[in-house]
Structure 1
Amino acid sequence: MKFFPLSIILLFFSCIQIVQADVKNIKICTPVWEYYTQKDGTGLYHDLWRLIFQSAGITLDIKYAPFKRCANAVNEKKSADYDVLTAGYSSTGTITPKWHIGVDLLSVAYTKNSVDKWTDSSLLENKRVSWLRGYDFDTYGIVPKSVKRQELNQIKSGIKKLASGRTDFLIDYDKAILKIIKEEELGDKVDIFSNVLKGPKYYMIFADTPKGKALAKIWDDGMEQLNKSGKLQAMYKAAEDPAY
Protein backbone atom coordinates (compact mmCIF):
# COMPACT_ATOMS: atom_id res chain seq x y z
CA MET A 1 0.00 0.00 0.00
CA LYS A 2 1.32 3.42 -0.94
CA PHE A 3 1.16 6.20 1.68
CA PHE A 4 1.24 9.92 0.98
CA PRO A 5 2.76 12.57 3.24
CA LEU A 6 0.23 14.44 5.39
CA SER A 7 1.26 17.72 3.75
CA ILE A 8 0.17 16.44 0.31
CA ILE A 9 -3.19 15.24 1.66
CA LEU A 10 -3.83 18.59 3.36
CA LEU A 11 -2.88 20.42 0.16
CA PHE A 12 -5.36 18.28 -1.82
CA PHE A 13 -8.29 19.10 0.48
CA SER A 14 -7.35 22.78 0.62
CA CYS A 15 -7.41 22.87 -3.20
CA ILE A 16 -10.94 21.43 -3.20
CA GLN A 17 -12.06 24.10 -0.73
CA ILE A 18 -10.48 26.83 -2.86
CA VAL A 19 -12.23 25.56 -6.01
CA GLN A 20 -15.58 25.48 -4.18
CA ALA A 21 -15.04 28.97 -2.77
CA ASP A 22 -14.04 30.31 -6.19
CA VAL A 23 -17.20 29.12 -7.96
CA LYS A 24 -18.84 32.33 -9.11
CA ASN A 25 -21.17 31.09 -11.82
CA ILE A 26 -22.85 27.95 -13.10
CA LYS A 27 -23.30 27.32 -16.83
CA ILE A 28 -26.49 25.30 -17.25
CA CYS A 29 -27.58 23.74 -20.54
CA THR A 30 -31.27 22.86 -20.68
CA PRO A 31 -34.10 22.32 -23.12
CA VAL A 32 -37.15 24.54 -22.73
CA TRP A 33 -39.68 22.53 -20.71
CA GLU A 34 -43.00 24.11 -19.87
CA TYR A 35 -43.63 24.26 -16.11
CA TYR A 36 -39.92 23.58 -15.46
CA THR A 37 -37.47 25.63 -17.53
CA GLN A 38 -39.34 28.32 -19.41
CA LYS A 39 -37.35 31.04 -21.13
CA ASP A 40 -38.96 33.76 -19.02
CA GLY A 41 -37.26 32.28 -15.95
CA THR A 42 -40.33 30.59 -14.53
CA GLY A 43 -40.72 26.92 -13.70
CA LEU A 44 -39.84 24.47 -10.95
CA TYR A 45 -36.20 23.96 -11.92
CA HIS A 46 -35.58 27.69 -12.24
CA ASP A 47 -36.95 28.10 -8.71
CA LEU A 48 -34.63 25.37 -7.40
CA TRP A 49 -31.58 26.92 -9.07
CA ARG A 50 -32.33 30.32 -7.60
CA LEU A 51 -32.78 28.90 -4.11
CA ILE A 52 -29.68 26.70 -4.20
CA PHE A 53 -27.15 28.47 -6.41
CA GLN A 54 -28.18 32.11 -6.68
CA SER A 55 -28.76 32.41 -2.94
CA ALA A 56 -25.17 31.15 -2.49
CA GLY A 57 -23.88 34.04 -4.60
CA ILE A 58 -23.49 31.97 -7.77
CA THR A 59 -24.60 33.60 -11.03
CA LEU A 60 -26.88 31.52 -13.25
CA ASP A 61 -25.77 31.36 -16.89
CA ILE A 62 -28.49 29.41 -18.70
CA LYS A 63 -28.34 28.23 -22.30
CA TYR A 64 -31.48 26.79 -23.89
CA ALA A 65 -30.77 24.03 -26.41
CA PRO A 66 -32.10 20.61 -27.47
CA PHE A 67 -31.54 17.84 -24.93
CA LYS A 68 -29.03 15.84 -26.98
CA ARG A 69 -26.87 18.90 -27.66
CA CYS A 70 -26.77 19.68 -23.93
CA ALA A 71 -25.90 16.09 -23.03
CA ASN A 72 -23.05 15.99 -25.55
CA ALA A 73 -21.67 19.33 -24.32
CA VAL A 74 -21.58 18.24 -20.67
CA ASN A 75 -20.08 14.84 -21.51
CA GLU A 76 -17.29 16.50 -23.51
CA LYS A 77 -15.46 17.74 -20.44
CA LYS A 78 -12.47 19.03 -22.42
CA SER A 79 -14.63 21.75 -23.96
CA ALA A 80 -16.04 22.87 -20.58
CA ASP A 81 -18.82 24.66 -22.46
CA TYR A 82 -21.31 23.84 -19.71
CA ASP A 83 -21.12 22.76 -16.09
CA VAL A 84 -24.37 20.84 -15.91
CA LEU A 85 -27.16 19.17 -17.87
CA THR A 86 -30.55 19.85 -16.30
CA ALA A 87 -31.91 16.31 -16.19
CA GLY A 88 -30.23 13.07 -17.18
CA TYR A 89 -29.71 9.51 -16.05
CA SER A 90 -26.62 8.53 -14.09
CA SER A 91 -23.76 7.69 -16.46
CA THR A 92 -20.01 7.21 -16.53
CA GLY A 93 -17.79 10.16 -17.36
CA THR A 94 -19.95 12.66 -15.50
CA ILE A 95 -20.79 13.48 -11.88
CA THR A 96 -24.16 12.35 -10.53
CA PRO A 97 -25.18 14.00 -7.25
CA LYS A 98 -27.00 12.27 -4.40
CA TRP A 99 -30.25 14.21 -4.79
CA HIS A 100 -32.33 13.61 -7.91
CA ILE A 101 -34.32 16.32 -9.66
CA GLY A 102 -37.09 14.09 -11.03
CA VAL A 103 -38.47 10.61 -11.62
CA ASP A 104 -39.62 9.47 -15.03
CA LEU A 105 -43.37 8.86 -15.01
CA LEU A 106 -44.34 8.80 -18.65
CA SER A 107 -47.52 8.75 -20.67
CA VAL A 108 -48.13 6.97 -23.96
CA ALA A 109 -50.20 8.62 -26.70
CA TYR A 110 -51.74 6.57 -29.50
CA THR A 111 -54.09 6.89 -32.45
CA LYS A 112 -57.64 6.80 -31.16
CA ASN A 113 -59.39 3.39 -31.36
CA SER A 114 -56.15 1.63 -32.39
CA VAL A 115 -55.67 0.06 -28.94
CA ASP A 116 -58.28 -1.37 -26.56
CA LYS A 117 -56.43 -0.96 -23.26
CA TRP A 118 -52.99 -0.57 -21.74
CA THR A 119 -51.43 -3.77 -20.40
CA ASP A 120 -47.72 -3.08 -19.98
CA SER A 121 -44.72 -1.98 -22.01
CA SER A 122 -44.88 -5.18 -24.08
CA LEU A 123 -47.69 -3.44 -25.98
CA LEU A 124 -44.94 -1.38 -27.64
CA GLU A 125 -42.92 -4.35 -28.92
CA ASN A 126 -42.05 -4.11 -32.63
CA LYS A 127 -44.14 -0.94 -32.94
CA ARG A 128 -43.15 2.48 -34.27
CA VAL A 129 -42.59 4.51 -31.11
CA SER A 130 -41.71 8.21 -31.12
CA TRP A 131 -40.01 10.33 -28.46
CA LEU A 132 -37.77 13.37 -28.23
CA ARG A 133 -34.24 13.04 -29.56
CA GLY A 134 -31.68 12.08 -26.92
CA TYR A 135 -34.00 10.57 -24.32
CA ASP A 136 -32.86 6.96 -24.98
CA PHE A 137 -35.85 5.26 -23.34
CA ASP A 138 -34.91 1.98 -25.03
CA THR A 139 -31.36 2.11 -23.66
CA TYR A 140 -32.50 2.44 -20.05
CA GLY A 141 -35.11 -0.34 -20.10
CA ILE A 142 -38.18 1.89 -20.04
CA VAL A 143 -39.43 0.40 -23.31
CA PRO A 144 -38.58 -2.91 -25.05
CA LYS A 145 -35.48 -2.84 -27.24
CA SER A 146 -37.54 -4.21 -30.13
CA VAL A 147 -39.41 -0.91 -30.62
CA LYS A 148 -38.92 0.85 -33.93
CA ARG A 149 -37.51 4.07 -32.56
CA GLN A 150 -38.53 7.33 -34.21
CA GLU A 151 -36.77 10.38 -32.77
CA LEU A 152 -38.47 13.77 -32.72
CA ASN A 153 -37.28 17.34 -32.43
CA GLN A 154 -40.67 18.46 -31.10
CA ILE A 155 -43.57 16.66 -29.44
CA LYS A 156 -46.00 18.57 -31.65
CA SER A 157 -44.68 16.84 -34.77
CA GLY A 158 -45.07 13.46 -33.05
CA ILE A 159 -48.71 14.16 -32.18
CA LYS A 160 -49.36 15.05 -35.82
CA LYS A 161 -47.65 11.81 -36.92
CA LEU A 162 -50.00 9.88 -34.63
CA ALA A 163 -53.04 11.66 -36.03
CA SER A 164 -52.01 10.77 -39.59
CA GLY A 165 -51.01 7.17 -38.80
CA ARG A 166 -47.28 7.63 -39.42
CA THR A 167 -46.30 6.36 -35.97
CA ASP A 168 -47.97 3.94 -33.55
CA PHE A 169 -47.14 5.44 -30.15
CA LEU A 170 -45.58 8.56 -28.66
CA ILE A 171 -43.92 8.76 -25.24
CA ASP A 172 -43.58 11.92 -23.19
CA TYR A 173 -44.90 13.59 -20.06
CA ASP A 174 -48.62 13.86 -19.44
CA LYS A 175 -48.95 17.64 -19.29
CA ALA A 176 -46.96 18.19 -22.48
CA ILE A 177 -48.95 15.66 -24.51
CA LEU A 178 -52.36 16.81 -23.29
CA LYS A 179 -51.52 20.46 -23.92
CA ILE A 180 -50.57 19.83 -27.55
CA ILE A 181 -53.58 17.59 -28.21
CA LYS A 182 -55.77 20.44 -26.98
CA GLU A 183 -53.91 23.18 -28.88
CA GLU A 184 -53.97 21.23 -32.15
CA GLU A 185 -57.60 20.17 -31.61
CA LEU A 186 -56.72 16.52 -32.15
CA GLY A 187 -58.73 15.02 -29.29
CA ASP A 188 -60.88 13.13 -31.80
CA LYS A 189 -57.81 11.47 -33.34
CA VAL A 190 -55.30 11.00 -30.52
CA ASP A 191 -55.79 9.46 -27.07
CA ILE A 192 -53.46 8.86 -24.13
CA PHE A 193 -52.61 6.31 -21.46
CA SER A 194 -51.56 8.58 -18.59
CA ASN A 195 -48.53 7.88 -16.38
CA VAL A 196 -48.20 4.20 -17.32
CA LEU A 197 -44.42 3.95 -17.81
CA LYS A 198 -42.20 4.37 -14.78
CA GLY A 199 -38.53 4.94 -15.38
CA PRO A 200 -35.50 5.65 -13.19
CA LYS A 201 -34.69 8.80 -11.27
CA TYR A 202 -32.95 11.53 -13.21
CA TYR A 203 -30.44 14.05 -11.95
CA MET A 204 -28.62 17.29 -12.55
CA ILE A 205 -25.64 15.81 -14.42
CA PHE A 206 -22.43 17.74 -13.74
CA ALA A 207 -19.31 17.83 -15.89
CA ASP A 208 -16.45 15.78 -14.46
CA THR A 209 -14.27 18.78 -13.64
CA PRO A 210 -13.15 20.36 -10.34
CA LYS A 211 -15.82 23.02 -10.81
CA GLY A 212 -18.42 20.35 -11.57
CA LYS A 213 -17.53 18.52 -8.34
CA ALA A 214 -17.86 21.72 -6.32
CA LEU A 215 -21.22 22.56 -7.89
CA ALA A 216 -22.55 19.04 -7.29
CA LYS A 217 -21.66 19.40 -3.60
CA ILE A 218 -23.46 22.75 -3.42
CA TRP A 219 -26.50 21.17 -5.10
CA ASP A 220 -26.62 18.25 -2.65
CA ASP A 221 -26.20 20.51 0.37
CA GLY A 222 -28.95 22.83 -0.86
CA MET A 223 -31.38 20.02 -1.68
CA GLU A 224 -30.81 18.48 1.74
CA GLN A 225 -31.63 21.77 3.44
CA LEU A 226 -34.78 22.21 1.35
CA ASN A 227 -35.81 18.66 2.20
CA LYS A 228 -35.30 19.13 5.94
CA SER A 229 -37.33 22.34 5.91
CA GLY A 230 -40.22 20.72 4.02
CA LYS A 231 -39.93 23.31 1.24
CA LEU A 232 -38.75 20.74 -1.31
CA GLN A 233 -41.90 18.65 -0.97
CA ALA A 234 -44.09 21.76 -1.08
CA MET A 235 -42.46 22.97 -4.31
CA TYR A 236 -42.91 19.63 -6.07
CA LYS A 237 -46.48 19.30 -4.84
CA ALA A 238 -47.32 22.76 -6.18
CA ALA A 239 -45.86 21.71 -9.54
CA GLU A 240 -47.87 18.44 -9.44
CA ASP A 241 -44.62 16.53 -9.80
CA PRO A 242 -44.44 13.18 -7.93
CA ALA A 243 -40.63 13.10 -7.61
CA TYR A 244 -40.80 14.22 -3.95
Structure 2
Amino acid sequence: MTRWLTLLVAALILTSSPAMGETGIKNVTIAGPSWADFTNQDGTGLYHDIFHAVFSPLNITVTHRYMPSARAYEMIRLGKADMMACSAHEVAELQLANCPMFVNNYHAFFSPKRISPWLGRESLNGRSLVWRRGYYHPREFEDLKNVEFTEHSSGSTALGMVILGRKDAYIDDINLIRESLERCSLEFALEDFAIRPVGKRSYYPLFAKTEHGNTLKALFESRMNKLHQDGTLKKIFRKWNFDYPDYSQCK
Protein backbone atom coordinates (compact mmCIF):
# COMPACT_ATOMS: atom_id res chain seq x y z
CA MET A 1 0.00 0.00 0.00
CA THR A 2 2.79 2.41 0.93
CA ARG A 3 4.70 1.66 -2.27
CA TRP A 4 1.53 2.12 -4.35
CA LEU A 5 0.84 5.48 -2.69
CA THR A 6 4.42 6.62 -3.30
CA LEU A 7 4.16 5.76 -6.99
CA LEU A 8 0.81 7.56 -7.26
CA VAL A 9 2.20 10.74 -5.69
CA ALA A 10 5.23 10.61 -7.99
CA ALA A 11 2.96 10.23 -11.01
CA LEU A 12 0.88 13.23 -9.93
CA ILE A 13 4.00 15.35 -9.54
CA LEU A 14 5.29 14.38 -12.98
CA THR A 15 2.02 15.06 -14.75
CA SER A 16 1.39 18.38 -13.02
CA SER A 17 4.83 19.92 -13.47
CA PRO A 18 5.19 22.30 -16.46
CA ALA A 19 8.86 21.39 -16.58
CA MET A 20 8.06 17.87 -17.74
CA GLY A 21 7.01 18.88 -21.23
CA GLU A 22 3.24 18.69 -20.65
CA THR A 23 2.74 22.20 -22.04
CA GLY A 24 2.64 21.19 -25.68
CA ILE A 25 5.44 23.66 -26.44
CA LYS A 26 7.80 22.28 -29.07
CA ASN A 27 9.50 25.44 -30.35
CA VAL A 28 10.52 28.71 -28.71
CA THR A 29 11.59 31.79 -30.65
CA ILE A 30 13.67 34.25 -28.64
CA ALA A 31 14.19 37.78 -29.96
CA GLY A 32 16.72 40.39 -28.92
CA PRO A 33 20.06 42.02 -29.70
CA SER A 34 23.32 40.17 -30.12
CA TRP A 35 25.38 41.03 -27.04
CA ALA A 36 29.01 39.93 -26.68
CA ASP A 37 29.36 37.04 -24.21
CA PHE A 38 25.58 36.87 -23.77
CA THR A 39 24.01 36.22 -27.16
CA ASN A 40 26.87 35.83 -29.60
CA GLN A 41 25.62 35.19 -33.11
CA ASP A 42 27.55 31.91 -33.25
CA GLY A 43 25.19 30.54 -30.59
CA THR A 44 27.54 30.92 -27.64
CA GLY A 45 27.16 33.16 -24.60
CA LEU A 46 25.63 33.21 -21.14
CA TYR A 47 22.02 33.61 -22.27
CA HIS A 48 22.37 31.03 -25.04
CA ASP A 49 23.79 28.48 -22.59
CA ILE A 50 21.00 29.15 -20.09
CA PHE A 51 18.29 28.76 -22.74
CA HIS A 52 19.91 25.53 -23.91
CA ALA A 53 19.94 24.17 -20.35
CA VAL A 54 16.32 25.24 -19.81
CA PHE A 55 14.73 23.92 -23.00
CA SER A 56 16.90 21.22 -24.60
CA PRO A 57 16.20 18.52 -21.95
CA LEU A 58 12.49 18.97 -22.79
CA ASN A 59 13.15 18.49 -26.52
CA ILE A 60 12.08 22.07 -27.17
CA THR A 61 13.81 23.66 -30.15
CA VAL A 62 15.12 27.19 -29.56
CA THR A 63 15.54 29.74 -32.35
CA HIS A 64 17.15 33.10 -31.65
CA ARG A 65 16.38 36.05 -33.90
CA TYR A 66 18.76 38.98 -33.52
CA MET A 67 17.27 42.46 -33.63
CA PRO A 68 17.11 45.74 -31.65
CA SER A 69 15.21 45.61 -28.36
CA ALA A 70 12.31 47.81 -29.53
CA ARG A 71 11.66 45.53 -32.49
CA ALA A 72 11.91 42.45 -30.27
CA TYR A 73 9.19 43.86 -27.98
CA GLU A 74 6.92 44.32 -30.98
CA MET A 75 7.63 40.80 -32.24
CA ILE A 76 6.34 39.39 -28.95
CA ARG A 77 3.25 41.61 -29.02
CA LEU A 78 2.48 40.39 -32.55
CA GLY A 79 3.01 36.76 -31.58
CA LYS A 80 6.00 36.37 -33.91
CA ALA A 81 8.39 35.67 -31.02
CA ASP A 82 7.86 33.97 -27.66
CA MET A 83 10.47 35.64 -25.46
CA MET A 84 12.82 38.61 -25.40
CA ALA A 85 16.27 38.48 -23.78
CA CYS A 86 16.58 40.58 -21.76
CA SER A 87 15.12 43.79 -20.31
CA ALA A 88 15.88 45.72 -17.13
CA HIS A 89 12.49 47.44 -17.04
CA GLU A 90 8.82 46.75 -17.62
CA VAL A 91 7.51 47.07 -21.16
CA ALA A 92 3.91 47.84 -22.13
CA GLU A 93 1.77 44.76 -22.86
CA LEU A 94 4.57 42.39 -21.82
CA GLN A 95 5.53 40.73 -18.54
CA LEU A 96 8.88 40.16 -16.87
CA ALA A 97 9.99 36.85 -15.42
CA ASN A 98 9.93 36.76 -11.62
CA CYS A 99 13.68 36.28 -11.35
CA PRO A 100 16.49 37.77 -13.43
CA MET A 101 18.87 36.06 -15.81
CA PHE A 102 21.63 38.53 -15.00
CA VAL A 103 22.44 41.13 -12.34
CA ASN A 104 25.26 43.60 -12.74
CA ASN A 105 26.48 47.12 -12.08
CA TYR A 106 26.10 49.72 -14.78
CA HIS A 107 28.82 52.30 -15.30
CA ALA A 108 29.60 55.83 -16.43
CA PHE A 109 32.29 56.50 -19.03
CA PHE A 110 33.53 60.08 -18.61
CA SER A 111 36.48 62.44 -18.75
CA PRO A 112 37.94 63.38 -15.34
CA LYS A 113 38.67 66.78 -16.88
CA ARG A 114 34.90 67.40 -17.08
CA ILE A 115 33.82 65.60 -13.90
CA SER A 116 36.20 66.15 -11.00
CA PRO A 117 36.48 65.19 -8.25
CA TRP A 118 34.64 61.90 -8.75
CA LEU A 119 32.33 61.29 -5.77
CA GLY A 120 30.35 58.38 -7.14
CA ARG A 121 26.81 58.55 -8.48
CA GLU A 122 26.21 62.01 -7.02
CA SER A 123 28.84 63.36 -9.41
CA LEU A 124 26.23 62.95 -12.17
CA ASN A 125 24.11 65.75 -10.68
CA GLY A 126 23.82 68.60 -13.16
CA ARG A 127 25.40 66.54 -15.94
CA SER A 128 24.40 65.55 -19.46
CA LEU A 129 24.08 61.78 -19.84
CA VAL A 130 23.83 59.69 -22.98
CA TRP A 131 22.92 56.03 -23.53
CA ARG A 132 21.70 53.54 -26.12
CA ARG A 133 18.11 54.07 -27.19
CA GLY A 134 15.74 52.07 -25.02
CA TYR A 135 18.41 50.71 -22.68
CA TYR A 136 17.85 53.14 -19.80
CA HIS A 137 15.05 55.38 -18.60
CA PRO A 138 15.10 58.78 -16.87
CA ARG A 139 13.20 57.30 -13.91
CA GLU A 140 16.31 55.26 -13.08
CA PHE A 141 18.02 58.58 -12.30
CA GLU A 142 15.21 60.33 -10.42
CA ASP A 143 17.46 60.69 -7.38
CA LEU A 144 19.72 63.03 -9.36
CA LYS A 145 19.11 66.74 -9.95
CA ASN A 146 19.27 68.84 -13.12
CA VAL A 147 20.32 65.95 -15.33
CA GLU A 148 19.91 65.99 -19.11
CA PHE A 149 19.30 62.77 -21.04
CA THR A 150 20.01 61.87 -24.66
CA GLU A 151 19.59 58.57 -26.49
CA HIS A 152 21.53 57.28 -29.49
CA SER A 153 20.98 54.30 -31.74
CA SER A 154 24.29 52.64 -30.85
CA GLY A 155 26.70 52.47 -27.95
CA SER A 156 29.64 53.57 -30.07
CA THR A 157 27.76 56.73 -31.10
CA ALA A 158 26.85 57.46 -27.48
CA LEU A 159 30.46 56.90 -26.47
CA GLY A 160 31.58 59.27 -29.22
CA MET A 161 29.47 62.07 -27.75
CA VAL A 162 31.60 61.90 -24.59
CA ILE A 163 34.89 61.58 -26.45
CA LEU A 164 34.01 64.66 -28.53
CA GLY A 165 33.07 66.59 -25.39
CA ARG A 166 29.41 66.99 -26.34
CA LYS A 167 28.10 65.01 -23.35
CA ASP A 168 29.45 64.45 -19.85
CA ALA A 169 28.94 60.70 -19.37
CA TYR A 170 27.96 57.62 -21.33
CA ILE A 171 25.90 55.15 -19.26
CA ASP A 172 26.02 51.42 -19.97
CA ASP A 173 26.84 47.95 -18.72
CA ILE A 174 30.61 47.47 -18.47
CA ASN A 175 30.54 44.69 -21.07
CA LEU A 176 28.70 46.94 -23.52
CA ILE A 177 31.07 49.84 -22.82
CA ARG A 178 33.94 47.54 -23.81
CA GLU A 179 32.05 46.59 -26.96
CA SER A 180 31.45 50.28 -27.77
CA LEU A 181 35.15 51.02 -27.29
CA GLU A 182 36.04 48.26 -29.75
CA ARG A 183 33.61 49.60 -32.34
CA CYS A 184 34.42 53.29 -31.91
CA SER A 185 36.16 54.75 -34.98
CA LEU A 186 37.32 57.95 -33.26
CA GLU A 187 40.94 58.43 -32.32
CA PHE A 188 41.43 59.14 -28.61
CA ALA A 189 43.61 58.24 -25.65
CA LEU A 190 41.77 55.82 -23.37
CA GLU A 191 43.86 56.95 -20.39
CA ASP A 192 42.16 60.36 -20.65
CA PHE A 193 38.86 58.78 -19.59
CA ALA A 194 37.51 56.83 -16.64
CA ILE A 195 34.85 54.17 -16.09
CA ARG A 196 33.11 54.00 -12.72
CA PRO A 197 30.07 52.08 -11.38
CA VAL A 198 27.00 54.24 -10.77
CA GLY A 199 24.23 51.72 -10.06
CA LYS A 200 22.99 48.13 -10.22
CA ARG A 201 20.19 46.62 -12.25
CA SER A 202 18.66 43.23 -13.00
CA TYR A 203 17.86 41.87 -16.46
CA TYR A 204 14.77 39.73 -17.05
CA PRO A 205 13.36 37.81 -20.02
CA LEU A 206 10.05 39.16 -21.30
CA PHE A 207 6.90 37.24 -22.23
CA ALA A 208 3.55 38.14 -23.76
CA LYS A 209 0.56 38.68 -21.48
CA THR A 210 -1.29 35.79 -23.08
CA GLU A 211 -2.15 32.23 -22.11
CA HIS A 212 0.84 31.01 -24.12
CA GLY A 213 3.07 33.65 -22.53
CA ASN A 214 1.92 32.65 -19.05
CA THR A 215 2.55 28.97 -19.78
CA LEU A 216 6.01 29.61 -21.19
CA LYS A 217 6.89 31.91 -18.29
CA ALA A 218 5.86 29.25 -15.74
CA LEU A 219 7.86 26.62 -17.61
CA PHE A 220 10.93 28.84 -17.80
CA GLU A 221 10.80 29.73 -14.11
CA SER A 222 10.29 26.10 -13.07
CA ARG A 223 13.32 25.02 -15.08
CA MET A 224 15.45 27.93 -13.82
CA ASN A 225 14.66 26.94 -10.25
CA LYS A 226 15.68 23.35 -10.96
CA LEU A 227 18.93 24.45 -12.61
CA HIS A 228 19.65 26.66 -9.60
CA GLN A 229 18.94 23.84 -7.16
CA ASP A 230 21.11 21.25 -8.94
CA GLY A 231 24.04 23.65 -9.48
CA THR A 232 23.87 23.72 -13.28
CA LEU A 233 23.09 27.43 -13.41
CA LYS A 234 26.05 28.37 -11.25
CA LYS A 235 28.38 26.38 -13.52
CA ILE A 236 27.14 28.32 -16.54
CA PHE A 237 27.82 31.65 -14.84
CA ARG A 238 31.26 30.44 -13.77
CA LYS A 239 32.02 29.39 -17.35
CA TRP A 240 31.38 32.94 -18.59
CA ASN A 241 33.07 34.56 -15.58
CA PHE A 242 29.97 36.44 -14.40
CA ASP A 243 28.82 36.91 -10.82
CA TYR A 244 26.04 34.56 -9.80
CA PRO A 245 22.75 36.32 -8.91
CA ASP A 246 20.96 35.68 -5.63
CA TYR A 247 18.35 33.12 -6.68
CA SER A 248 17.47 32.15 -3.11
CA GLN A 249 14.23 34.15 -3.26
CA CYS A 250 13.21 32.83 -6.68
CA LYS A 251 10.62 30.08 -6.87
Q: TM-score band (shorter)?
A: 0.7 to 0.9
Cα distance in 1, alignment partners of residues 27 and 174 from structure 2: 33
Secondary structure in structure 2 of the residue aligned to 1:80: coil
Unaligned runs of 5+ in 2: 1-15, 246-251
Secondary structure in structure 1 of the residue aligned to 2:140: coil
Counterparts of 1:152-163 in structure 2, within 5 Å, are 152-163=152-163
| Contact persistence 2:109–2:171 (CA under 8 A) | yes
The TM-score with structure 2 as length reference comes to 0.78
CA change 1:145–1:83 in 2 (3 A) is farther
| Contact persistence 2:128–2:149 (CA under 8 A) | yes
- Equivalent position of 2:148 in the other structure: 148
Cα deviation, residue 209, structure 1: 1.5
- Equivalent position of 2:226 in the other structure: 225
Cα deviation, residue 146, structure 1: 4.1
Letter in 2 for 1:174: I
- Equivalent position of 2:79 in the other structure: 80
Secondary structure in structure 2 of the residue aligned to 1:129: strand
Cα distance in 2, alignment partners of residues 226 and 161 from structure 1: 42
Deviations 1:86-110 (A, max 9, x none): 1122456323323211124101101
Secondary structure in structure 1 of the residue aligned to 2:84: strand
Cα distance in 1, alignment partners of residues 210 and 22 from structure 2: 12
Cα deviation, residue 138, structure 1: 1.7
- Equivalent position of 1:3 in the other structure: none
| Contact persistence 1:138–1:145 (CA under 8 A) | no
Q: Give the number of aligned pairs.
A: 225
Cα distance in 2, alignment partners of residues 111 and 37 from structure 1: 30
Letter in 2 for 1:196: V
| Contact persistence 1:35–1:239 (CA under 8 A) | yes
User: Are 2:206 and 1:205 equivalent residues in the alignment?
Assistant: yes
Deviations 1:36-61 (A, max 9, x none): 00111110000011111122111112
Identity of aligned residues (%): 23
The TM-score with structure 1 as length reference comes to 0.80
User: Are 2:239 and 1:234 equivalent residues in the alignment?
Assistant: no
| Contact persistence 2:36–2:179 (CA under 8 A) | no
**Most deviating of 115-124 and 100-109:** 115-124
Cα distance in 1, alignment partners of residues 182 and 80 from structure 2: 37
- Equivalent position of 2:249 in the other structure: none
| Contact persistence 1:35–1:43 (CA under 8 A) | yes
- Equivalent position of 1:136 in the other structure: 136
